[in-house]
Amino acid sequence: MATIERFEDVLAWQKARKATFAIYEITGQGVFSKDFGLRDQVRRSSVSIMANIAEGFGRRSDKEFANFLNYAHGSVAETQSHLYMALDLKYLDQTQFDAVYKMLEETSRIIMGFSKHLRG
């Protein structure tokens, strides 16, 4: 495994960044952009994934990093839940939902695998 020297080197953070960018694109369009509550909540929860990974890395302890990865994992689930509401409200179509949901699932798997690794 390659040495991780910066939080930007963490694969889970990289994947979360891409998912967050996709969410910002989707939430900035059409009716979704006008539902300020849901739009802002899904954006905040997706940004929280990245932020928790970065903050955990900054703690400089495997145990604390693993704890923050668990928080990030929770933020993935929160973001996925918000996406279901957006789908139900027809703010995004099934194809958009599936694409972002898949990105988040992959991020989640990487987060949990890394958390297990850190916990030994």
In this prediction the pTM is: 0.94
In angstroms, what CA-CA distances link 26 with 6, 20, 44, 69, 80? 29, 10, 14, 25, 14
In angstroms, what CA-CA distances link 36 with 29, 43, 119? 12, 10, 39
Over range 41-59, report the average pLDDT. 97
CATH number of the domain where residue 90 is located: 1.20.1440.60
Is residue 2 in a domain?
no
Over range 78-97, report the average pLDDT. 98
Q: How much of the chain is in helix, strand and coil states, percent to nearest 5?
A: 85, 0, 15
Predicted pLDDT of residue 3: 83
Is residue 3 in a domain?
no
- Structural domain range at position 27: 10-119
Is residue 26 in a domain?
yes
For residue 34, what is the enclosing H or E element?
none
What CA–CA distance (Å, rounded) separates 29 from 66? 35
Predicted pLDDT of residue 55: 97
pLDDT higher than threshold 90 for residue 83:
yes
Is residue 4 in a domain?
no
**Number of domains, the chain:** 1
pLDDT higher than threshold 60 for residue 60:
yes
- pLDDT band (50, 70, 90) for residue 41: very high
pLDDT digit string, tens, across residues 15-32: 999 999 999 999 999 999
What CA–CA distance (Å, rounded) separates 118 from 66? 6
Residues 78, 81, 82, 83: what is their CA dihedral angle, to the nearest 10 degrees?
A: 120
Is residue 63 in a domain?
yes
- pLDDT band (50, 70, 90) for residue 33: very high
Among 13-17, 36-40, 56-60, 95-99, the least confident range: 56-60
